[in-house]
Amino acid sequence: MKAEKQNNHSNEKKLSLLDTVGMSIGGMVGGGIFAVLGEASNMSGNAAFISFGIAGILALITGISYTRLTQTFDEAGGSFSYVEKLSGSGPAGTLSWFLILGYLFTISLYAHTFGAYTSRLFGSHYGLGPYLGGLAVIILSGINLAGVRESGVSEDILVYAKVAILLILSGVAFSAIKPQEFLPIMEHSPTTVIGAAALIFVGYEGFQLLTYDYNDISKREKNLPRSVWISIPAVIVIYMMIAFVTTGTVGDQIITKHKETILAYVAEPILGKAGFTIVLIAAVISTASAINATLFATARLTKRVANDQQLPSEITRWETGGVSVVFICIMTVFAIVIQFVGNLHQITTFSSLVFLLVFAIVNMVALIHREYKDWYIVFPIIGSLGCFSAAVALVYDTVTTDLTTLWIISGITAVLLILRFVYMQWHPEFLDKIERKEIKRNDI
């Protein structure tokens, strides 16, 4: 009886369904819609809402695969754990390096957006954006190192308040839609619409936070899948509504000129100066919260990977506030540099490419591991092929419109692979790990 009471007491401290739904929605909406709306609207025109829908369907299928794999292996760790179980430490480590890099670019994306909205909030020129974004990363890194976390209640309040603001804005904006703005819907080719879906895919990656906090979820067998089934469709609806009213109320010239802060320009004609300011404040809070959450989640992932000898132990050895000092400092420096030297399109492209390829692999793992039975196997097949095809479409669009960005991405990829190869060949801890695993497999 005593043990049962202790379990109940500990269960009360865990994340409820409301908390997990809020965490998942917050991870996606936190910086997603504010960061990528302008890019999607500028690229696919009036069909931007379709692009958000396509990306959302792929995210939902992938979210289900994440859920099933996490429950099967019954451990936190996300895609790194799944691939390690199926393919071993080598492929899993390589995947984790790219995933960490994807999170780094995502933090830079949120910092870039934070700087743009903060500059506009205070009436400053956009040129100050990178400095404000860099300052935000430094402050939030310090907060992470101090061990300060948002409470479950405050996080829920912030998330659902942002959702309410977006729903109210989209609802009111429907009355201001102009037929001459949202018609024709297909202004560009279907390939461009798919390319836009791939470009803004980073706006959906936040649901992965649930897999890192799997052990902290109350009744996780039920609440994890429920959270995915509730949060991702809800975000799809929000994104599609916002995209539709944006292209239906704001002219193409304004979208092109103010694509980094376009959501505020949707609010101003409808809700006046007050609405304009409210959206700016919501964007600043959202992107700051997204930076904070992504820093912490990436630090947890890095610790998990380093414990498996997939990263130098020096990176995670010195901890304070529950996160690695060295790792947070490295992430801070690189995130600031990236958002200074890269533009919004480049940062978004690289982030989305990483997550599309990681999600394609996760769906393939779910298929190989037989997480789906009978005709349901069509879902991971669609998820894997869909994510991979979207990545190919994004690369093709980048080749035809911005070859420089492709060369930059290729260079970063090559450097990471070279570093990974050197680590695998020369790091003794990693070689010992591989040798022990091979011996264990041969014994079996």
pLDDT, position 440: 45
CB 262 within 8 A of CB 250: yes
Assign residue 146 the CATH number of its domain. Answer: 1.20.1740.10
| pLDDT of 433 | 54
Quick one: pLDDT at residue 15? 77
Structure tokens given for 4: 């049962």
Structure token digits, residue 121: 């909030």
Measured CA to CA, the distance from residue 11 to residue 286 in angstroms comes to 29
pLDDT of residue 323: 76
Report phi then psi at 12, rounded to 5: -65, -25
In a domain, 381, yes or no: yes
Residue 105 structure tokens: 């670019």
pLDDT at 217: 85
Task: Identify the residue whose tokens are 């989640």.
Answer: 297
> How confident is the prediction along the chain (444 residues), in pLDDT tens digits per residue?
444 444 444 444 677 888 888 888 888 886 678 878 888 888 888 888 999 999 999 999 999 999 988 888 887 777 877 887 777 777 888 888 898 999 999 999 889 888 888 888 887 665 788 899 899 999 888 887 876 655 556 566 777 888 888 888 888 877 777 776 677 777 777 888 888 889 888 888 888 888 887 888 888 888 888 999 999 999 999 999 888 888 888 877 777 777 777 878 788 777 788 888 888 888 888 888 888 888 888 888 888 888 777 887 778 778 776 778 888 888 999 999 998 888 888 888 888 899 999 999 999 988 888 878 778 889 989 999 999 999 998 888 888 888 888 898 899 999 999 988 888 777 655 555 555 444 444 443
Q: Is residue 2 part of a domain?
A: no
- Whether the upstream peptide bond of residue 190 has omega within 30° of 0, thus cis, is no
| Residue 118 in tokens | 């903060």
Task: Indicate the Cα dihedral angle 373, 93, 385, 363, nearest 10°.
Answer: 20
pLDDT at 13: 64
Distance in angstroms (rounded) separating the CA atoms of residues 240 and 47 = 10
Q: What is the Cα–Cα distance from 286 to 159, expressed in whole angstroms?
A: 8
Measured CA to CA, the distance from residue 327 to residue 98 in angstroms comes to 15
Instruction: Count the domains in the chain.
Output: 1
317: Cβ contacts below 8 Å, ≥ 6 apart: 324, 326
Looking at residue 10, its pLDDT comes to 45
Q: Which of 198, 188, 190, 102 is nearest to 393 (CA)?
A: 198
CA distance 261 to 263: 6
Determine, yes or no, domain membership for 248.
yes
Instruction: Evaluate whether residue 357 is within a structural domain.
Output: yes
pLDDT at 9: 43
Give the pLDDT confidence score for residue 443 in this predicted structure: 43
Instruction: Kindly state the tokens that stand for 49.
Output: 């809402």
pLDDT of residue 311: 80
Beta carbons within 8 Å of 64's beta carbon, 6+ residues apart: 225, 228, 229, 379
Residue 181 has a pLDDT of 67
How much is the pLDDT for 147?
67
Q: What is the pLDDT of residue 232?
A: 93
Q: Where are the alpha helices (DSSP H) in 250-261?
A: 252-257
**10 assigned to some structural domain:** no
Q: How many other CB atoms sit within 10 Å of the CB of residue 283?
A: 26
Residue 291, pLDDT score = 85
| Radius of gyration of the chain from its Cα atoms, rounded to whole angstroms | 21
Q: Does a structural domain hold residue 416?
A: no
- 120 in a structural domain: yes
User: What is the domain extent for residue 333?
Assistant: 16-402
Is residue 143 assigned to a domain? yes
The owner of tokens 């037929």 is: 179
SS3 60: helix
Q: Which pLDDT does position 154 carry in this prediction? A: 59
pLDDT of residue 126: 59
